Every structure is written in structure tokens, then in C-alpha cells.
Amino acid sequence: MSSRLIIALIIMLLAPGVQAHNFVTGKTVTPVYIQEGGELLLNSDDEIHYQKWNSTQLAGKVRIIQYIAGRKSAKKKNSLLIKAVEAANFPQDRFQPTTIVNTDDAIFGTGYFVVGKIEKINAAIRGRNSLLTAMDRDALPGACRSRVQPFWWLNKAGQIQWAKDGSLTPEEVDHVIALAQKLINE
């Protein structure tokens, strides 16, 4: 794993040494490039392949982005938001959820199953954008090591509109679903 990628993700996702995000409303995310793993894509035969990805591709659609560990517990923390996004049935031409999964943070020996599950979900739900990357969790600041998961919401220009570390409350889920709808309608 390239040290530049690790540093870029650290800067983008977490404030050094604290458990609070450093995202600035109205600004774009720090450029991030994922060379290993990358974006999962389906070809015309419904076969999955991977391509390199960078954060400059985020503009163009309203996005809810989450960075998670490759563990079931991470999925459970996000289930309220995931269900609300699915129930909102946002138009795919203007909205796209993006999930960045750190496959190195899977329980030892389960990485293969994590990748398989993500591939299966992507094949079933077209329009979902999943990215796989591998990072040494011990090289990250405390917030990521303690499994705090950042979320952020971007407008069509790729500018941050709202961000939070960790699980969302039901009230926050309602707020961000309404925010996403507002941004889609702009």
C-alpha cells in the first residue's frame, strides 16, 4: 500500500489524534486516490471488475459517503441510515451512496468473505458505488482505530454539506435524508 494513499486518506478522513472530523462545509474533500482494490464495477455480463478511483469523481451527483471497517459490527452501526436511504428511493441519475470499505480492518481470515459480500451487494443493487481499499489500521489516528466511522454528505458540486463521525441518531438520519432530498431538488 502506497504511503501517499495512506496519508491522503488519513488527512481526508480524520483530524490527527482526535475523534472529530475536520471536514469544512462548502469545501471539497481532499483529493484521494485508490490504486489497489478500487471501485467495483459490473460489466455487461454482470461480472465484477475493479478500477482505480479518485475523489475528483465525486462531483456530478448528491452523495452520502461512509468510510467503514470490513466488519459486521460496522454494518450494524450503519443499518438505520442504509435502510432510510433505500426507503427514500432517490433517483439514481442524481444521487449515489458511496461506501469505502477498509478490507484490512476485517477480522483475521474473513477478508475474502467481506469482499465477496460487498461484490454480491453491488451486483444486486445497481447504482451503488462501493470502493475497496486496504489500509493498516494501526497507522491511522485514534478515531479510526477505535472504529469511529465518518460520514459526509456532498452536493452535486462535490462540496461537503454535512459531516459526522460515528453512528447517526434517528433524528440525524431524518435530517440527512431531508438534506439529501433538498440537494437533489436544487
CA angle 30, 91, 69 (to 5 degrees): 45
Tracing cell 447517526 back to the chain, one arrives at 168
What region does 79 belong to: left with phi over 0, alpha with psi -120 to 50, or beta? Answer: alpha
Q: Spell out the per-residue pLDDT of the chain, length 186, in tens.
A: 555 555 555 555 544 444 455 677 888 877 777 777 777 777 777 777 778 877 788 889 998 887 776 666 666 677 788 889 889 989 989 998 887 777 665 556 556 566 666 666 655 555 555 544 544 444 333 334 444 567 788 999 999 999 888 788 999 999 999 999 999 999
Span 6-42, pLDDT tens digits: 555 555 554 444 445 567 788 887 777 777 777 777 7
* pLDDT given at position 82: 82
* pLDDT given at position 103: 67
For each of the domains in the chain, give its residue range(s) and CATH number, in order of start: 3-185 (3.40.30.10)
* pLDDT given at position 179: 94
Please give the Cα distance from 99 to 66 (Å, whole number).
5
